[in-house]
Structure 1
Amino acid sequence: MKQESKQLSQLLEHIQVIQYNNVHVTVTGITYDSRKVEHGFIYVARKGSNADGHDYIQNAIQNGACCIVCERLPEDLEQTIAVVQVQDAAKALAGLSHALHDFPTKKLKVIGVTGTNGKTTCTYVLKQIAECLGKKVGMIGTTGNYSNGRFIETTFTTPEAPELCTLFNEMIHDGVEYVFMEVSSHALAQQRVWGIEFVGAMFTNLTQDHLDFHNTMDEYAKAKKMLFDMLPTASVAVLNCDDSYTSLMMQDTKANVLTVGRSNNPTVSILKELAGTVESRFELDLGDSTLEIATPLIGKFNIDNVAECVVMSWQLFNTKDKIADCVRQAQGAPGRMARIALTNGAVGIVDYSHTPDALEKALTTCKELLQNSGQGKLICVFGCGGDRDKTKRPLMGRIAAELADIVIVTNDNPRTENPQTIIDDIIAGVDSATERIVIEPDRAKAIQIAVEQSSAGDILLVAGKGHENYQIIGTDKFHFDDFEQLQKYQR
């Protein structure tokens, strides 16, 4: 879709400006990447975690930028170039993007889902419920973007503001009514979603992750809270009241708040839970009535996810019984507790659990499945990502050693870190090295060892990468898929 041009003076009405030198400029596009600048583009010089956009202003001008938006005024700049100084370049990037694209979210109903774990599952379930009810749906998230059934690849859980606005306009063109999007803490802290007019938001949970970026749990929580602070009066917020951070999330929101859970006096209570091997069942107390829910998603944590999705859908679509019928058909997201029967009678499970909390929940669910069947051992294959939060590595090592019968520590995406250093960090969390702990850096070999050590009735959990079909070693990206590896040993 071709973007219509606009006058810079029109766009600047929608952001806070310190000073400017020229507004009589025609704008055809906007970017924060000097390499993507074309003739007539605004270049926003934003300071990032690895680079400062101010260092690339001259590159942007050479590539045809008509305007520079920056926090620090550059020296020796050509007088013909429009320069706009702002306090917050990241927020300006978002505001200008929405203005240039005619504020696309005014024409959509956008629901954001945030939390450490469960975002992808929730957006998938919400999407399927809405489609089941006959709605035209868009989805934005970790595994890709969808616009009324059309798949669009993604590189970020939450894209940058210019890409988001382009995506929203594509969805409008495709007739989409509702958009369910994952909202990451990075996106919130970097103002990528500033300017989106959300009609609803969900909070799943908050546990340790991304401390390489946020430094502390308090800062991480404050980033998540920004989503609920953005919500207007007529919107709805659905939160997991069993999570200790929920009170912070709802502290300053203007939205209509509904809490879901088992404790802390929830608006909607989860009752009569039965987590089986092929489905989960529970009831929701809606105040004036109860709703029986059955879902093919397994595990207590998925009961939490599905319960929130049901409550949000109830608020959006004003129906209850039809939603229960839709949930019964809704499948989980790719790479989330995805099961595969192995030739030797064991069950392989691929899961994206890459945080301490997610790994603990996945392993606990597997143990419950084994207890229900009355037999079998639990084998866990996992690693930790390089160039990411190092403090979670020993925690994940301890959790795996405590809950699994056999642990095989391997590579995840080591990136530019030494793989052995990452493995050493994981092993540091294990009380004592025993025959139950196996180290095999080669992930394919690690999965092979796990299969060889498994037998009928066992569960083999391959954790950390889920839907990912690649592995990053150094700066090289190779094809690698945990599910494909397990399929070699499929029944």
Structure 2
Amino acid sequence: MATALAELLRPLNILEAKGPQEMEIEKIEFDSRKAGPRSVFVAVRGTQTDGHRYIAQAVEAGSTAVVCEAIPEAVQPGIAYIRVANASEALGLMADVWHGHPSRQLKLVGVTGTNGKTTTVTLLYDLFSALGYKAGLLSTVRNKIGAAELAATHTTPDALSIHGLLREMVDTGCDFAFMEVSSHAAHQRRIAGLHFAGGVFTNITHDHLDYHKTFKAYIEAKKMFFDILPATAFALVNLDDKRGGVMLQNTKAGRYTFSLREMADFRARLLGNNMAGLHLMIDGQEVYSRLMGEFNAYNLLAVYGVACLLGQDPVEALTAASQLKAAEGRFDYVSPPGASKIGIVDYAHTPDALEKVLQTIAGFLEPGSRVITVVGCGGDRDKAKRPVMAEVACRLSQQVVLTSDNPRTEDPEQILKEMQAGVPGLAAHMVLSIVNRKEAIRTAVALAQPGDVILVAGKGHEKYQEIGQERLPFDDKAVLAEALEQQP
């Protein structure tokens, strides 16, 4: 497939152009190692490296056009150089043209927030599938095109991948697509060129400050998503989060709210919340769900709101919603046959998420039973939350085992020391620090008595552990299940 360069450049705000502009392009690429004959190379400035350093390499590999933020001093004859203000944004706009504007050919809904993104998009995918539609899913856990499943490696893939996946969804007959929109993706313009039918805001708490530096910048990154929504879209926000109203400021989209506590467009009352699941009153209808915890009441309400805003029958949507299951690694029960202890694996990797999960467990706990929490913090990430995570775990558990999460290039012992700074003095006796995550989980199970709950938090669905530069196989759920079988 070849496309005229002029066609690809049409949506861009070009600041400067050098060299021939009339040519056919057979490939768009932002990785110089993948550049080839008659390709256009987009020099994206990333967090690890700058694509401008590899322009010459891309040209040598056959690229006949370069889109960049700074044209090199030494330009090659016969090569088109196009200067733009933001190459990342240009990549998304060009990818949209290249793939034939796929996001305009289905209903694309993006979900953003600190917690609940994966669960919400997964529930939306499952709900619309249950309603008889073919849907697509872009999430941290998995990407799906109809029933076909693809591996997922980032919350929001690169712009080329997103538009390519959406093209596949359209070509295979998908009517809807649901995707997580991370603050990184919004800030890095990885959602450029996408036409959203709607956007959802779940909540916001301190996270990713290693990248955004300040909480204000983090909020602004989330808000960028709502700022780009078109007037034809809807913006649905959690009114019980004080930043929900902020997300609606300046958006062109139709404004809608959901709440468990305030008057809102979509409102629910929590009538019951126990081991059997949730009992809700939504729009005058009683709804029973197998999902547990108040946080899942918010997720379900958001999903119901989206369904209504996308034209679905409210009663049918609620009926289908009552059958939904949680996403993998989200309040995931692990209780092998014969086990007298309850294991739970959850992705909670922020103080707020950990607190919500532990509060939910506390509401289910039988008299005399205890909660033993295994938790760590990732390396090369927001350090400010490390002592806070430990404090939350100590406050809401009866025993805590601090351990490695994904230490990456940091010393895991040092990460644990920074977590230990948040352990209250009176709680020191109830805290163990075990660097080896497998040993930490086994120890927690060994410490548990019949009826106790062991929460393994932080990694959820992940099937690996990042240590140094390596990504090694590791599955919290499998390790916890094995320990429970050996020490039932």
TM-score, normalised to structure 2, is 0.97
Of 319, 325, 335, which aligns to 1:331?
325
Contact persistence 1:291–1:320 (CA under 8 A): no
Distance 1:331 1:339 in 2: 12
Q: How far off is 1:46 after superposition?
A: 1.6
Is the contact made by 1:351 and 1:464 (CA closer than 8 Å) also made in structure 2? yes
Instruction: Determine the C-alpha separation between the residues in 1 that align with 2:481 and 2:266.
Output: 41
Query: Where do 1:48-447 residues align within 5 Å?
Result: 48-285=46-283, 290-342=284-336, 343-370=338-365, 373-432=366-425, 434-447=428-441
**Partners of 2:250 and 2:285 in 1: CA distance:** 30
User: Is the Cα contact below 8 Å between 1:158 and 1:182 reproduced in 2?
Assistant: yes
Which stretch of the first structure deviates more once superposed, 353-362 or 258-267? 258-267
* Distance in 2 separating the partners of 1:190 and 1:255: 22
Say whether the 8 Å CA contact 2:237–2:245 is kept in structure 1.
no
Residue in structure 2 matching 1:7, options 4, 20, 25: 4
SS in 2 for 1:449: helix
Gaps of at least 5 residues in structure 2 are none
Between 202-211 and 92-101, report the one with greater CA deviation.
92-101
Correspondence 1:433-472 to 2 at 5 A: 434-472=428-466
Higher mean C-alpha displacement, 76-85 vs 176-185 = 76-85
Residue-by-residue CA offset, 1:255-299 (whole Å, 9 max, x unaligned): 2222111344322222143111121111123xxxx1222211111
The one-character-per-residue Cα deviations of 1:90-112 (angstroms, maximum 9, x if unpaired) are 11111111111111111111000
Paired position in structure 1 for 2:40? 42
Residue 375 (structure 1) shift: 3.2
AA of the residue aligned to 1:359:
L
Tell me the amino acid that sits aligned with residue 321 of structure 1: V
For the residues of structure 2 that align with 1:272 and 1:68, how far apart are their CA atoms? 56
1:452 is matched by which residue type in structure 2?
A: A
Which SS does the other structure have where 1:426 is aligned? helix
Residue 465 of structure 2 aligns to a residue whose secondary structure is: strand
Q: Between 232-241 and 218-227, report the one with greater CA deviation.
A: 232-241
Stretches of structure 1 lacking an aligned partner (at least 5 in a row): none
What is the root-mean-square deviation of aligned Cα atoms in Å? 1.2
Where 1:198 maps in the other structure, the secondary structure is coil
Q: Aligned to 2:280, what secondary structure does the other structure show?
A: strand
Amino acid at match of 1:352: Y
How far apart in 1 are the matches of 2:109 and 2:383? 32
Q: Deviations over 1:319-370 (max 9, x none)?
A: 1111121112111100000001154411000000001111111111111110
In the alignment, the residues of structure 2 paired with residue 348 and residue 92 of structure 1 have an alpha-carbon distance, to the nearest angstrom, of: 47
Per the alignment, do residues 318 and 333 of structure 1 end up closer, same or farther by CA in structure 2, a change over 3 Å counting?
same
Q: Which amino acid aligns with 2:415?
A: I
d(CA) in 2 for partners of 1:272, 1:101: 44
SS in 1 for 2:322: helix
Matches of 2:46 and 2:270 in 1, distance apart?
48
Between the aligned residues of both structures, percent identity stands at 38
Deviation at 1:435, TM superposition (A): 2.3
Q: Secondary structure at the residue paired with 2:152? A: coil
